Amino acid sequence: MGLEHTDGLQNFADVFARQAPLVLEIGFGMGKSLVEMALNEPDKDFVGIEVHRPGVGACLGDAAEQNVHNLRVYEHDAVEVFADCVADNALARVQLFFPDPWHKKRHHKRRIVQSDFVQKLRSKLVIGGVLHMATDWENYAEHMLIVMSEAEGFKNQSVTNDYVPRPEQRPLTKFEQRGHRLGHGVWDLMFERVS
């Protein structure tokens, strides 16, 4: 189930031995929700990228235990995987859930959601493909909304042109449930590639 960055550009139809919409998640943590999504959407193939080795191991263990066949993972930097391993127009959905908010102002430049990264990612989505982000940091949600609203080639799927309710396909994590109990908000953003 593991994929290697050193293998370079992948033909995911060969990797999964079928043609199916491809969903890629950046930074899946321990992988519980990614495994759950793969189980709940057997008509899609999932690729996860994570740099934290224990998280990759936990994800692979869960997937094997639950007999999941539509999931592969990279233990590598997401920016490099996008650049070297994913063909243009290959992805139906990209998921970025609860990325590091780098909450100190002087660290904001380290946030993964930046204009240049969004444009690199755009080329990997099919027309009609969706970038789905979620965060529990209101300041980061506002940053994401500004970056995406200014991004060429994307249209907000929110009817109010800001955030969307949590879609069914994104599982509620234990971390998120705890946040809700403490009165914390969570913001989901979904932007469709239109050009």
Catalytic residue positions, numbered? 100
- CA pair distance 161, 147, nearest whole angstrom: 13
Does residue 49 contact residue 73 with C-beta atoms inside 8 Å?
yes
- CA pair distance 108, 102, nearest whole angstrom: 6
Alpha helix positions (H), 41-170: 53-65, 78-85, 115-124, 138-150
Both tokens of 107, joined, read 């660290």
Element (H, E) at 97: strand 91-97
Both tokens of 183, joined, read 């009165």
Element (H, E) at 178: helix 174-181
